[in-house]
Amino acid sequence: MKAKRHLEPHIKRQLAARRLSTETGRAVTIRIGVPVRVRAKEWMCPYSITGLGPPIRTQSRGLDAIQAIITTLASIRRALIDSHVEATWDGGERGDTGFPMYVLNVYGLKFTRKLEDLVDASLDAEATRLQRKSSKEGEDRKRAS
């Protein structure tokens, strides 16, 4: 999903905001507006990104308010990646914007479940690796003392 750059819509009521910092100390600000119902089964969520270059003031849409927010978060993530600016949020390690990848079901539920299973398997494997590493380090410390 590529963010469309234009000046409308303006955020009338802010839902959330996040400030990122670049290595040079430049501030990047993301603002997300409260989703607005456009018509039956169509919601719009405005957002803006400033500090990457020309301001991005645009929107994402969904069948309901939640989907509009989810697509907004995915669109923000994509815009940050496409900017090629390394920005970090206060709670993250260097380069972590705090906007994780969402698995959207645009290719159907079966494909989405397959991707989720791959991510879950990778998470389980990493957790097991870290537990083994931690146990080994604990054993090594006991032997050394």
* Whether pLDDT at 71 is above 50: yes
Same domain? For 25 and 36 the reply is yes
Q: How confident is the model at residue 9, as a pLDDT?
A: 53
Statement to judge: residues 87 and 107 lie in one domain: no
Pair of tokens at residue 8: 């409308």
State whether 70 and 126 are in the same domain: no
Residues 75 and 144 grouped into a single domain: no
pTM here?
A: 0.79
Q: What is the extent of the structural domain holding 39? A: 1-100
Specify the 3-state DSSP secondary structure of 45: strand
- List C-alpha distances in Å: 32 to 37, 40, 64, 142: 15, 22, 16, 51
Same domain, 63 and 110: no
The reply to whether 84 and 113 lie within a common domain is no
Q: Are 82 and 69 spatial neighbours (Cβ–Cβ below 8 Å)?
A: no
Reported as a single tens digit per residue, the pLDDT across 19-69 is: 999 999 999 999 999 999 999 999 999 999 999 989 999 999 999 999 999
Looking at the structure of the chain, the number of domains it has is 2
Q: Are residues 7 and 53 in the same domain?
A: yes
- Residue 125 pLDDT > 80: yes
Calculate the alpha carbon distances from 63 to 4, 25, 36, 113, 128 in Å.
Answer: 19, 38, 11, 20, 39
Residues 30 and 81 in one domain: yes
The Cα–Cα gap between 6 and 57 comes to 6
Is the domain of 9 the same as that of 34? yes
**Gap between the Cα atoms of 57 and 31, Å rounded:** 9
